[in-house]
Amino acid sequence: MALIDLEKIILSNYQIYESQPYLYLGMMKWQKLLLMN
């Protein structure tokens, strides 16, 4: 994954966290599972 893409993901995740923290936490768990595979 390119560093620029990672920055975009982090920024969009932060915006989601600001508006919907529970959705954000669910997405983080999902991303961790994806990275493990």
Task: Write down the pLDDT at residue 1.
Answer: 53
Task: Write down the pLDDT at residue 37.
Answer: 67
pLDDT in tens, 1-37: 567 788 888 888 788 778 887 877 887 888 888 888 6
Cα–Cα separations (whole angstroms), residue 32 to 3, 19, 25, 36: 17, 21, 11, 6
Count Cα atoms within 13 angstroms, Cβ side, for 3.
0
